[in-house]
Structure formats: C-alpha cells, structure tokens
Structure 1
Amino acid sequence: MSETTIEQLRIPDSLDGDLAADFLEAVEVSRLVRRHTWGNDELAYTAEELFDQCHDPYEWYVVLVARKGGAIVGRAGIALPLDDNTELAHVTLDVLPTAEGMGLGRKLLEAAETFVRGENRQIVMVETNHPAATLEEGTGDPIPATHGSGVLPMSSREARFAFSAGYDLEQVEQFSACALPVRAGLTEELAAKAARTHNSGYAIHQWVDSCPEEWAQDIARLEQSLGPDGVAQEPWDVARLREAEELSVLTGRHSMVSAAECLETGALVAFTSISILGHRSDVAFQDDTVVELSHKGKDVGLLIKVSNMDQLVREFPQARTVYTWNAPENSYMLSVNAELGYVSAGMTGQWRKDFNAV
C-alpha cells in the first residue's frame, strides 16, 4: 500500500506550462468533491478563481495537498486574513470520495492546524456541507449551534468529524438555490405586493460594480450597521467601500446592487447585492441584504431583492442559478426567498476551534 504524504503546494506564476500541473490537479480535486456533495460543480472554484485568491493582497491563501501514489487525493485551503481578523484562519478540506475512510481528512486538518499555529493564529474556522437528502436521513443527538437556532445531527459524518476534532458548532446556515429565469410575471407581482405594504414610500436605485458618489456614505453607514447580536461590524467608510469595489473589479467579479431610498428622509435605508464571478457568468451569489431596523416590517427587503433579481436577469441573461445562505432563524428573508423561487439545498455548518481555550 502506497504511503500518504502531505506537503505545501507551490503556487505557480501562471496557469500555463508544467509548473501549473499540481495546482490544476488540486483544483480538479475540489471540483470533484463539490460535484459529489451537491450533484454539480457550480460551487467549485475554477483554476482562474483559485489563482486569483492565491494573489489576494488582503488574504494569504495557502494550499496543503495529500498525495497517495504520487496523485493528489485531498487538499486543505488555508485562508489567513492580513488586514482585519488577523487572529483567524479559515480552513477548507477536500478529500476525493475514492480516498475517504483513510484518515486523510484528519491528517490534512492536523497539518493545517500546525501551520496555523506557526503563524500565531488563535482561531480556526472549518465549514462542513450537508445536502438536504443527507439531513433527512439524520436522526438523534442534535448538535446545537452557539449562535442562532440551527442544529446539525451527530449522525452526519461531516458533523461528527468536526466535533471529534475538537471544534464547536458556531453557526448553521440554510443553503438555497434559485433556478433562472424565474416564472414570467413573478417579480412584477412581488414588487406590487411590496408596494402595497409600504405604500410606495421608497424609491429604488441600482448600480453595477461602483456605487454612485451620492449614495456612497449611506452604503458605508448601512455596512457599518449593528449585527444580529448587537455587536458592531468591522469599521466601514467610503474609502473602504471604494477599496472593496476596486478589488472586486480586479478579480473580474461583478456586483449588482439595489438600494431603497426612504422618500420621506431622502436617505438609503436598505440594500442588497448579487455577485457574478469573473470566470463563470452562469452562476450568481446572493450577498448581503441590509435593512435598517426602523424600516423592517414594510417589505422593503422583498422590494430590493425583487428589483435586484430583475437587474441580474437584465445585466447577465446567461445566469442560470443564484445561490444564497441564510440563518435558519431569519424567517422573513427565508420567506422572501421562497416567494422568489429559492429551494433549500441543504445546510452548511461553521465550526470553530480556539487554541487559547484548548
């Protein structure tokens, strides 16, 4: 039986030539794992996307690979923020289905933790993915999340793996998909419903990639708004907004934003954004949706999400699927998504290990 080895992957200078062969093989491992998990490869990084991530000026991205008989059969991606949250490291594990049951996941995670400790990071976050079909089979011994109302069953192999490795389940999110195009007339119907609720008290403003200067301060303020636990988010201002927009454009990503202006005050009070990756325009991702507390309960969230779906179809008619993640307790946004045609595909778990607490 051939020995399994784990080593750090050299990031090539380009995707051309023999020096990129190992990098491309590691990308293929990730693609096959996601296809096995979700039934398609729409959530898999392309080689270009992972290459861009490895050159992100705000994040150091390291890849460890597991080899068996010379072939790469698993990988651990380690993302280390360089600007904010420098105590954190995010680890993504991929092991080929044909190599499962050999302890490779544990070996990769241990190697990643050793690397992280060497970089003086105190907290490691690991994500587990749980398709809806596997959760329906899971029974007994629920693991409750530290934040929110989500749970995962101990009968899940992925949950059991993270739990046995000493990780605490911090948060669970519902993962949903919406097939495009949506039913003809649906967005018009939902926009009319929203208008009846808030008596047409809001105007919609839209843009792609760059926020108009007149709304930049409002968007920064909304980004800075308090989180669900009453804890302020990372500092946001117009300079940081422009920096984020510039980085997005440099990686080829496009962002579509729809924001709601309160006609009584003239200020933006809500926005939502959808991203299209630079190297794959058939898949879109629903990003942040923020509504000021005083404007909740008026279907403003429905209004902006419907408007942004229209913008997506108009600007990127080739898009075929939109994916989104929501906290299970966010019943309003889940109901809005259901009205738009989102269907639950499963759950993702965010697991945390604090080395200072071990």
Structure 2
Amino acid sequence: MDIVRVTPDDTATVDQLVGLSEAIVKVDCPWEHPFTRTRLTGMLRYGWDGEPPEQYAGVLEGHVIGSARLWTSDYDNLDLAWFDLGVHPDHRRRGHGTALLAAVTERARELGRSSTGIGGWESAATRGFAEGAGFTFGQEEVARRLDVDDVPDGFAELVDRARRDHAGAYEFLTMSGPVPQELLAQMTDLQAAINDAPWDDIDMEPEVFPIERLLGYEQAQAASGRRLHRVIARHAATGELVGHTIVAVSGERPDYGDQQDTTVVREHRGHRLGIVLKGLMLDYLRRVEPQCRSFDTWNAASNDHMIAVNEAMGFHVIGRSLAYQRKG
C-alpha cells in the first residue's frame, strides 16, 4: 500500500475517499451520515474553523482503501495532534491501519506534536487497535439523535416554565448565517465557555477563540454545505451574551442537522438557560428548516447536565465512541 497526501483539488481521489466513507459507515455505524464530496472538500480546504487537516490516502493497486487525517491547531494545544483513521472493511487486519498510523505519527513528530489522540466507535476492534499502539483510554462520548416527531408532548411546556420561572432576566436572539459584526467581540468570550465541558482523562488545554477563528468556523461550515442557525441568550440588564446553541443543516441532506455547541457562561448557570436555548432552537428550526426531521448531538458520557437536557427533548442514543491519547 502506498500512502499519499491528498489535496482538495484532487477530485478523483476525493471521490474515492467519499466512497471509502460510505463503505466504512455501512459496516461500522449505519446510523451515521457518510461524507459527500462537498462536505469533504470543504473540510480539506477549511477544516472545522479555518485550520484544515492534512489528508492522506492509502492506495492499493490504484484504489483508495484507507484514510488518515491529521488535525492540529496553531491557536492552542500546540503539542497536540489528533488522528482520524479508517480502512475499507474488505482490507482490514492486514496491517494497513498500522501503516497509516505510523505515517501520521511521524508527520506529527515533524510538526513538533508530542501528544497524539485517536478515536473510534466503541468496539473490541477500536480498543484493541488503540491500546496495541500504546494509546491510553481518555473519554467516552455518546452520539444521540432527535427525531422531531418524537419530541415529548410536555417539552414545550417545560421550556415555557423554565423561561418564565428561571430565565426572566434574559432575552433571546435567533439568527441564521454569520454572526452580526457588532456581536463578534462578545462571541469570543461566549465561545470559550465551552472549555467547561468535560474532557475526562484527555489532556487538553483550554481553547481560545479570537475573532478570526470564529470567522474561519463560519466560512468552513458554509464551504462544507452547511447552513448555521443560532439562538443566543443575552442578559437584559447588561447586554452581555451569556449562552448560545448552534445547529448546522446540510444543504445536500436538508432533512437532518448537526447540533453543535451549546454552552452557558459559568456565572449565569442555574437559570435553566440550556433547556430554554434548545427549546427555542427547536421552534426556530421548525420555521426556517421545516424539512429537517432529525438532529444529532454528541456529549461526553460524564456530561450529566447536558445529557439530562437532551433526554428531556427526546434524544436517544445511536452510538458510543472512545477517545484515546498517547504521549511521545
């Protein structure tokens, strides 16, 4: 197997990587939505928030049978690299995954990254591969899905009561597309509140979110074919932005959305803002994206508070993933 770096302009190889994603999802996680060309090309150009990953393909006899993606940031966690690996189900247990891991590990060392992470859906294969390569388990994450038709009948009343009895000091802004220019400076601090989400035994420094990173995120999501929708909580007396939730809806697959960040600034917790934000988002999406019938969200298994909010909405578990880390 040859390992080659792939650019977003290499459309033939990108298309093979899309096909590889479809094959992997079909076997490993049939509930997941595989990559499309638009989504993968956008990721390779812009990453998640303006820092694209390095993409490598394992090629055997002219066919892409493996993928390795290397993520780093120059904003924070300058010692860390994270890997996404995948091998076609028909070519597993032949050393291809190990070869791909060795290649991106060497590249991470060239970049000065002394800590590396890897993850996969919960399985004996994921555990065996990671532990066999010297990685240590750090966190379990749980993927949940909300089918709009399954939202409990009493959820709207729960949101109304929380807003009336606990969140009276706040006003809520709904918006689609880029954040207005006048809110960007405040959004940097609000976005950083996500650092309070648990990382369990994964060694991570707090992330930082300067304005250019927020703009990079919006550009990256648009380039990946996603429409962004937000609900923001603002403290009425001070004008401070204190909480938000974001959902991205795919233009190519508009029947589903991805729940992205939901967070509340520490000093304003205890006012049921989380459930109000998500409830208002659900109402907003019913108006602006009525064709969107399901939403996916991810939480650390230890994030009891957000899990309780999601379960009250009707989210159900679709899969669990395991994250591992290795030093040196």
User: TM-score band, normalised by the shorter chain?
Assistant: 0.7 to 0.9
Counterpart check, 1:8 vs 2:20: no
Residues 46, 216 of structure 2: 8 Å contact kept: no
Question: 1:33 corresponds to which letter in structure 2?
Answer: I
**Contact 2:22-2:35 within 8 A present in 1 as well:** yes
SS of equivalent to 2:254: strand
Q: Are 2:262 and 1:289 aligned?
A: yes
Residue 74 of structure 1 corresponds to which residue in structure 2? 66
Aligned to 1:52: 42
Query: Which deviations, in whole Å up to 9, do the C-alpha atoms of 1:151-196 show, x marking residues without a partner?
Result: xxxxx22112101101122222121111234448555223223124
Partner of 2:207: 234
Q: Which moved more, 1:287-296 or 1:211-220?
A: 211-220
The equivalences for 1:238-277 within 5 A come to 238=211, 240-277=213-250
Cα separation, 1, equivalents of 2:128 and 2:66:
19
Query: In 2 relative to 1, CA 29–243 (structure 1 residues): closer, same or farther, beyond 3 Å?
Result: closer
> Are 2:283 and 1:310 aligned?
yes
Amino acid aligned to 2:89: P
**Aligned residue type for 1:8:** V
Q: In structure 1, the residue corresponding to 2:193 is in which secondary structure? A: coil
Residue of 313, 319, 323 corresponding to 1:346: 319
Secondary structure at the counterpart of residue 344 of structure 1? strand
> 1:27 — aligned with what?
18
Report the secondary structure of 2:113's partner residue.
Answer: coil
The amino acid that maps onto 2:7 is I
The Cα of 1:271 is off from its aligned counterpart by 1.0
Distance 1:278 1:118, change over 3 A: farther
Aligned length: 321
The answer for the alignment partner of 1:111 in structure 2 is: 103
Could you tell me whether the CA contact under 8 Å between 2:75 and 2:207 is conserved in 1? no
The structural deviation recorded for 1:105 is 1.7
RMSD between aligned residues? 2.8
> Structure 1 residues 104 and 232, CA, compared in 2 at 3 Å: closer, same or farther?
closer
Residue 149 of structure 1 is matched in structure 2 by none
More deviation, 161-170/313-322: 313-322
TM-score by length of 2: 0.86
Q: 1:112 to 1:14 in 2, by over 3 A?
A: closer
1:211 aligns with 2:186: no
Which residue of 269, 272, 284 maps to 1:299? 272
- Measure the CA separation in 1 of the matches of 2:51 and 2:117: 15
Q: Distance in 1 between matches of 2:141 and 2:8?
A: 34
User: Identity over the aligned pairs, expressed in percent?
Assistant: 25
Q: Tell me what 1:126 maps to.
A: 118
Q: What amino acid sits opposite 2:272 in the alignment? A: D
Runs (4 or more) in structure 1 with deviation over 6 Å come to 229-232
Q: Secondary structure at the match of 2:46?
A: coil
1:312 match: secondary structure = helix
What is the aligned partner in structure 2 of residue 146 from structure 1?
Answer: none
Q: Letter of the aligned partner of 1:274 in structure 2?
A: V
Which whole-Å CA distance do the structure 1 matches of 2:183 and 2:52 have between them?
Answer: 32
Whether the aligned pair in 1 keeps the contact of 2:2 and 2:60 (CA below 8 Å) is no
TM-score, reference length from structure 1 = 0.79
The one-letter amino acid paired with 1:53 is: M
Say whether 1:93 aligns with 2:85: yes
TM-superposed CA distance for 1:74, in Å, is 2.0
The amino acid that maps onto 1:45 is F
Alignment CA distance shift 1:126-1:85 (3 Å): same
8 Å CA contact 1:32, 1:41 repeated in 2? no
Instruction: Give distance in 2, aligned partners of 1:77 and 1:238.
Output: 26
Residues 218 and 13 of structure 1: CA distance in aligned 2, closer, same or farther (over 3 Å) = closer
Superposition deviation, residue 339 in structure 1: 1.2
Instruction: Give yes or no for contact 1:225–1:233 (8 Å, CA) kept in 2.
Output: no
SS at match of 2:239: coil
Q: CA deviation at 1:338?
A: 0.6
**Residue 270 of structure 2 corresponds to residue 280 of structure 1:** no
- For 1:159, the equivalent position in structure 2 comes to 127
The one-letter amino acid of 2:4's match is Q
Please state how far the C-alpha of 1:259 moved relative to its aligned partner.
1.3
